[in-house]
C-alpha cells in the first residue's frame, strides 16, 4: 500500500494538454488549485479540482453517504458520517493494487478499520479528534481529499494504540502532516505547528511515532513539490520555474540534496533560476516564501553552484 489513496478516477481521465507546449505533464498544486506544466512552466488554473468529488469512496454505501447533496456529515454519527470504510471488494477506485501485495494491504486496512470501529472507547476519541481535524484542516486550507487520508491515518494510529499517552491534537496534526506528504503536496512542520495546538517539537515526535508504529509509508518531501508554491508567492515567470525544476533534477542526480531541507533546495534553485533567467528575487524574498532563513538559501545555492558548475552572469 505504497499509495493507499490515489487521485479520483475522473481526475485521472481528465488529462489536459498544455496550451503553450502541447504536452501533458502537469504538476498539480492542489493547495492553490493550479496545474503547472513541467515542460514549459505555464500555469493553468485548475478546473479539474471542481469537476468531481475530491474524495474517494471505498464502497458504494460510502459513496452514497458522502455525496454532497445530502446533509453534511455530522459528528454525532462519527462512526458513519466521517469514517472511511473499506469495502470487501478487493481493489480500490483508482484500480491500483488489485492483486498480490495490494490485495493483502487492503485486507490489512480493512482489518484495522473494523478493529477500531468495534471499540466504543475509540469512538469518543474519534469524535474529539475529528473536531480538531476539521478545524485544523480548514485553517490550513488543505483539500478534503487530504483530510480524508489524514482521518484514515489517524484511525490507524488509534487502532495501533499509538495515540494512547499522547495528545490527540498532536496526533491529529501529525496525521494531516503525513497526509500532505502522501499526496505529494507536503507542508512544513512549522507551517502546521503554527496553526495546531501543539509545539513543533511534540508534533515532530507524533509524526515519528506514527511513521514507525502505524506502517504508514509517506514519501519524503521533495524539493520539486515546494517549487510551485514558492514561485507563485513571488509571481515568478514560467521559464524561471522550469529552470528551477531542471536545476533540482540535476542536483538530485549528483546526490547533494540528501539530508537537506527540501524547501531550502527549492528556494535556492529558484534563486539561481531567477538570476539565470533574469527574473531575480532577493535572498530575503526567497527565504520568506520558502519558509527557511536566508542563511539556508545562501548555503544551498552556493553548494549547488559549486557542485553543478553553474555560471552566473
Partner DNA sequence: CTTTAGACGAAGTATTA
Partner DNA sequence: TAATAATTCGTCTAAAG
Kindly state the cell numbers that stand for 83.
469514517
Q: Is the Cα dihedral 49, 95, 185, 67 positive or negative?
A: positive
Give the strands of the sheet with 26-29, arranged side by side.
Answer: 26-29, 34-37, 43-45
294-308 vs 283-290: helix axis angle to the nearest 10? 110
Among 41, 261, 270, 304, binds DNA (CB under 7 A): 261
Compute the distance between CA of residue 124 and CA of residue 203 in angstroms, rounded to an integer: 22
Query: Of 208, 212, 253, 307, which lies in the binding site for DNA, with binding defined by CB under 7 A?
Result: 208
Residue 252 interacts with DNA (CB under 7 A): yes or no: no
Of 9-17, 86-94, 234-242, 257-265, the segment contacting DNA by CB under 7 A is 257-265
In the numeric block, the cell 478487493 is attached to 90
Exactly one of 259, 309, 311, 313 binds DNA (CB under 7 A); which one?
259
Q: Which of 14, 59, 167, 283 binds DNA (CB under 7 A)?
A: 283
Letters for 287-306 (x = contact with DNA by CB under 7 A, - = none) are -----xxxxx-xxxxx----
The residue within the footprint of DNA, chosen from 206, 264, 266, 270 (CB under 7 A), is: 264
* Residue 109 or 223 with smaller CB distance to DNA: 223
Check binding of 255 to DNA (CB under 7 A): no
Sequence-distant (6+) residues with CB within 8 A of 244 are: 227, 231, 266, 269, 270, 272, 273
**Which CB atom, from 115 or from 205, has the smaller least distance to DNA?**
205
For residue 166, give the C-alpha cell.
Answer: 499522547
The residue ranges that bind DNA (CB under 7 A) are 201, 204, 208, 259-261, 264, 280, 282-284, 292-296, 298-302
Amino acid at each position: 500500500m505504497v499509495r493507499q489513496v490515489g487521485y479520483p478516477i475522473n481526475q485521472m481521465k481528465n488529462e489536459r494538454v498544455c496550451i503553450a507546449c502541447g504536452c501533458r505533464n502537469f504538476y498539480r498544486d492542489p493547495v492553490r488549485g493550479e496545474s503547472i506544466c513541467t515542460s514549459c512552466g505555464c500555469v493553468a488554473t485548475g478546473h479539474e479540482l471542481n469537476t468531481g468529488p475530491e474524495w474517494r469512496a471505498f464502497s458504494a454505501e460510502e459513496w452514497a453517504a458522502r455525496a454532497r447533496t445530502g446533509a453534511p456529515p455530522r459528528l454525532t454519527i462519527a462512526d458513519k458520517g466521517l469514517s472511511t470504510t473499506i469495502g470487501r471488494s478487493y481493489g480500490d477506485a483508482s484500480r491500483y493494487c488489485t492483486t498480490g501485495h495490494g490485495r493483502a494491504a487492503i485486507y490489512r486496512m480493512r482489518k484495522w478499520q473494523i478493529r477500531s470501529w468495534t471499540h466504543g472507547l475509540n469512538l469518543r476519541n474519534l469524535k474529539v479528534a475529528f473536531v480538531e481535524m476539521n478545524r485544523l484542516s480548514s485553517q490550513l486550507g488543505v483539500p478534503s481529499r487530504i483530510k480524508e487520508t489524514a482521518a484514515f491515518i489517524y484511525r490507524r494510529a488509534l487502532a495501533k494504540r499509538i495515540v494512547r499517552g499522547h495528545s490527540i491534537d498532536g496526533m491529529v496534526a501529525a496525521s494531516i502532516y503525513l497526509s500532505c506528504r502522501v499526496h505529494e503536496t507536503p507542508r512544513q512542520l512549522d507551517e502546521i505547528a503554527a496553526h495546531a495546538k501543539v509545539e513543533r517539537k511534540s508534533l515532530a515526535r507524533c509524526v515519528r511515532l506514527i511513521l514507525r508504529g502505524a506502517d504508514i509509508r509517506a514519501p519524503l518531501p521533495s524539493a520539486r513539490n515546494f517549487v510551485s508554491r514558492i514561485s507563485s508567492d513571488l509571481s515568478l515567470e514560467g521559464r524561471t520555474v522550469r529552470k528551477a525544476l531542471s536545476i533540482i533534477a540535476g542536483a538530485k542526480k549528483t546526490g547533494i540534496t540528501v539530508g537537506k531541507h527540501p524547501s531550502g533546495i527549492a528556494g535556492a534553485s529558484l534563486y539561481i533560476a531567477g538570476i539565470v533567467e533574469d527574473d531575480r528575487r532577493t535572498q530575503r524574498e526567497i527565504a520568506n516564501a520558502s519558509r527557511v532563513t536566508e542563511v539556508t538559501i545562501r548555503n544551498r545555492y552556493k553548494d549547488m553552484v559549486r557542485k553543478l558548475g553553474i555560471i552566473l552572469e
